[in-house]
Structure 1
Amino acid sequence: RILQASTSEVYGDPEVHPQPEGYWGRVNPVGPRSCYDEGKRCAETLFFDYRRQHGLQIKVARIFNTYGPRMHPDDGRVVSNFIVQALRGEPITLYGDGSQTRSFCYVDDLIEGLLRLMSSEPQTVGPINLGNPSEFTIRELAEKVLAQTGSKSQMIFKPLPEDDPLQRQPDIQRAAQLLDWQPFVALPQGLQETIGYFRELLASDT
């Protein structure tokens, strides 16, 4: 039994909102983001081919914007970027006007979903969305990070990268039905834990 840790990026810049697993996505195959998106789509294809041809027991999870303690401070993801910038008193960098949305899933919730998927019946192969359907704009995330860190950092705005998705939100009905799973950690609580981790990490580096 093998897990494919796929991604919400397979949906690209979606025209369907929220995104169910049956949605094939809207991905630019030659854009600057396409290597990751198409690589994950290809991996899903190979998993299902091996299942059909060799009977391999597979599980495919499409993971949405996970965050939490033990993230790397320089991994380039928006939650870690904002927290590190806020704690260092650096400008908070937003791209576009900050109105694009994401749904952030705390790591403990994701792990519970993955464990349930891996222990599910053999016929439950996926793909299954694992993410928190609570949707926030990037500007709202920045405001929450500033409030919870007590930082005086200012927000600065840069051009939106090409093919950056404007909306991303999981439809988790399949996970609820097949895995009896839903996320429980709200964004403020998850940010509190993550900020605490980064505060200690940055203090130890000084």
Structure 2
Amino acid sequence: MDLIEKLKDIKKNYDEINAQLADPANMSDQSKLIELSKKRSELEEIVNAFNEYEKTVESIEEYEEIIDSGEDAELVEIAEAEIDGLKEKRDKLEDEIKLLLIPKDPNDDKDAIMEIRQGTGGEEAALFAADLMRMYTRFIELKGWKYEIIELNESSGLGGIKEVVMNIHGKNVYGDLKFESGVHRVQRVPLT
């Protein structure tokens, strides 16, 4: 089965789910509505990208017909100018769709708990841990997620932290943060 056929099947499935969501017979079963809504939201981004892809391919075909006919020189010139941009857009959409079709980790939509701890290095390490916390809290806010600080141990010196534990809520939190791990090291280089 090629990519286009698979996408057409996904679109058909998406339309069937929309029909089931609109069916008054399903309104009384809340668990079924929730399940259908989840399936619909999983497919929606793929279907939207495929619809845009189809429109782009259709436009490319129309412009190619204009170029092949060669009837109106001005129209041919406009078509030649537009077609390269459309082909580039089509290629980007193909890549985007391929990425969207990669199966998702079932845990990606779950929330996450993030822990940041000061390493060895005293006050410098505590300052770096505080910088990391500020960086992540700003990232969380930019993504539109919510967080709550479960535990915070501040260092006694210059405003650093020994440890912070945050609970992060939102869409695809775990999927975006699951590779954020490791030990970081700050090394100050003195001026000589």
What's the TM-score, normalizing by structure 1? Answer: 0.24
